């Protein structure tokens, strides 16, 4: 009887010890086995420097709102970066401290001020810039005259090679005044409407060259996406201007340079590296935060920063992988990218880092939408380049629709690959399907003025001419 009682008392304790021993073994195995070789490779790729050419546009972009002498600009940007570092170190226990969102230039240098009633610049993602300018021509001309120095600063970005933030990485780092960038296509549209098409084409094509370079070589995803939007806006504006362009008006050399097929494809690796760096900075801040003894012990058992970074790298790295970049360059369909990394805290890779696995799963970005936008922007640029080729080749009367379709097919068949182009003879437009359908399923552009005079009955209403 005593043996039975003793066994009843001891067996739960023995089971508890066995379970505890098993948990220790599994926890140790998890810490020893992870991160995997693939995770380490992804982390290394995200932290590898991306080669860049030219000078850094960060200070110019960050301080667009201010009329600052060139000799002072870098010093002001450095002072702003130091203010952010001071704010991040002032309270190490706060994971998301309040950071200054304006520049130290405020109150010391002339600054752009916008009247709340002022007519807005042309929209970047949608709308008809020429129609907007024609509807508000006098008001926009007055505003552009008033903000001529801002336009000069925006267009001076053409002299830079990349955008690498000088601010410490943080999820709360302030953004440059990106809304001001829309002044340039607005000015181009006004030049065209005012009878100066050469200046309009030259500036718009220069903007394309500028933002092909800066959007692909920025370590901030928002800057890259706004850069893509500027490329979309200028592609649409160029197509609209070509549809109204005087037949004998030659295209400036800037347009040939901007749409050279040999230019490198758009890229988002550097932007995703910047996104990952901000998340990694948060993890480092979490790791360094002061804790009581029991909190520290629990944190140490459930969180390993290095393993969490490696797991996070799975979600950020696709844009930097060779295979993805090849697909993007060829405009080929991309494999689906998971928005959230599935988490099994009882899986061997998470037992030793349970809290870190949950955090990594919650923070995964939805890369698909950004990569699809990149592909759509590349397709828009390619189609605009096709329009420029058609316009440059035009001589004499407009060709018959069947000959025009053949010419479009011949140009579109040249590498790199482009998705199918629909030729709408009746509407005098070319169309491509979009992969990011949040703003519509199709992108349509009018044919150049040299090719618009065709009877609708001369050919089928729509024909796919490239694949």
Mean pLDDT by 10 residues, the chain (467 residues): 52 58 55 75 90 95 96 96 92 81 93 86 88 96 95 97 96 94 97 95 98 97 97 96 78 93 94 94 83 70 81 89 92 74 63 74 79 95 88 59 65 64 80 89 84 41 40
> H or E stretch including 464?
strand 462-466
Does 260 share its domain with 309? yes
Q: Are residues 349 and 338 in the same domain?
A: yes
Same domain for 389 and 403, yes or no, is: no
Q: Are residues 347 and 456 in the same domain?
A: no
Predicted TM-score (pTM) of this structure: 0.87
Instruction: Clarify whether residues 44 and 102 are in a common domain.
Output: yes
Max Cα-Cα span within the chain: 113
Asked whether residue 390 falls in the same domain as residue 404, the answer is no
Task: Give the separation between CA 73 and CA 168, rounded to whole angstroms.
Answer: 18
Burial of 48 (0-12, 13-18, 19+ CB in 10 A): exposed
Q: Which of 352, 373, 397 is the last residue of a domain?
A: 397
- One domain for residues 116 and 197: yes
Kindly state whether residues 424 and 293 are assigned to the same domain.
Answer: no
The residue assigned the tokens 């979009």 is 434
pLDDT at 458: 33
* Bridge partner list, 163: 218
Whether the link from the prior residue into 416 is cis, omega within 30° of 0, is: yes
* One domain for residues 216 and 329: yes
Instruction: Name the domain boundary from 397, 422, 445.
Output: 397
Retrieve residue 398's tokens: 């407009």
Give the CA dihedral 181, 183, 187, 188, nearest 10 degrees: 30
Are residues 375 and 412 part of one domain?
Answer: no
Which residue among 397, 417, 451 closes a domain? 397
Looking at the fold, whether 183 and 302 belong to one and the same domain comes out as yes
Region of 316 (left: φ > 0; alpha: ψ -120 to 50; beta: rest) is alpha
Domain with 425 in it: 398-466
Under DSSP, the state recorded for 126 is: S
Do residue 385 and residue 405 come from a single domain? Answer: no
Structural contact between residues 311 and 263, judged by C-beta atoms closer than 8 angstroms: no
Q: How far apart are CA 128 and CA 121, in angstroms?
A: 11
Domain count, the chain: 3
């Amino acid at each position: 009887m005593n043996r039975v009682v003793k066994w009843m008392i001891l067996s739960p304790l023995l089971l508890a010890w066995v379970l505890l021993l098993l948990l220790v073994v599994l926890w140790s195995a998890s810490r020893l086995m992870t991160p995997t070789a693939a995770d380490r490779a992804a982390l290394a790729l995200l932290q590898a420097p991306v080669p860049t050419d030219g000078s850094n546009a960060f200070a110019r972009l960050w301080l667009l709102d201010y009329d600052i002498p060139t000799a002072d600009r870098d010093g002001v940007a450095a002072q702003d970066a130091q203010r952010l570092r001071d704010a991040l170190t002032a309270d190490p226990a706060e994971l998301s401290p309040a950071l200054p969102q304006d520049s130290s230039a405020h109150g010391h240098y002339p600054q752009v001020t916008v009247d709340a009633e002022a007519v807005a610049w042309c929209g970047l993602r949608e709308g008809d810039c020429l129609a907007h300018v024609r509807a508000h021509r006098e008001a926009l001309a007055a505003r552009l005259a008033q903000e001529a120095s801002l336009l000069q600063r925006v267009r001076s970005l053409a002299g830079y090679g990349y955008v690498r933030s000088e601010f410490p990485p943080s999820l709360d780092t302030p953004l440059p005044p990106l809304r001001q960038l829309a002044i340039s296509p607005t000015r181009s549209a006004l030049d065209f409407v005012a009878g100066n098409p050469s200046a309009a084409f030259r500036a718009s094509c220069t903007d394309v060259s500028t933002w092909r370079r800066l959007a692909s070589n920025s370590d901030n995803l928002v800057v890259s996406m706004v850069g893509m939007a500027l490329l979309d806006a200028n592609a649409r504006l160029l197509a609209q201007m070509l549809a109204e362009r005087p037949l004998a008006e030659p295209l400036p050399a800037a347009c040939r340079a901007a749409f050279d097929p040999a230019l490198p494809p758009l890229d988002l690796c550097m932007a995703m590296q910047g996104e990952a760096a901000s998340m990694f900075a948060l993890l480092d801040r979490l790791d360094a935060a002061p804790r009581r003894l029991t909190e520290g012990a629990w944190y140490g058992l459930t969180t390993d920063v290095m393993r969490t970074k490696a797991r996070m790298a799975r979600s950020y790295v696709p844009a930097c992988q060779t295979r993805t970049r090849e697909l993007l360059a060829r405009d080929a369909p991309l494999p689906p990218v998971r928005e959230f990394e599935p988490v099994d805290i009882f899986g061997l890779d998470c037992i030793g880092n349970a809290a870190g696995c949950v955090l990594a799963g919650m923070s995964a970005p939805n890369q698909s939408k950004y990569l699809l936008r990149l592909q759509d922007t590349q397709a828009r640029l390619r189609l605009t380049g096709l329009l420029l080729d058609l316009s440059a080749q035009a001589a004499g009367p407009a060709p018959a629709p069947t000959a025009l379709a053949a010419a479009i097919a011949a140009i579109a068949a040249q590498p790199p690959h482009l998705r199918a182009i629909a030729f709408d003879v009746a509407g005098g437009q070319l169309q491509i399907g979009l992969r990011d359908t949040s703003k519509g399923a199709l992108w349509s552009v009018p044919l150049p003025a040299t090719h618009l005079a065709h009877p609708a009955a001369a050919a089928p209403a729509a024909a796919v001419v490239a694949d």
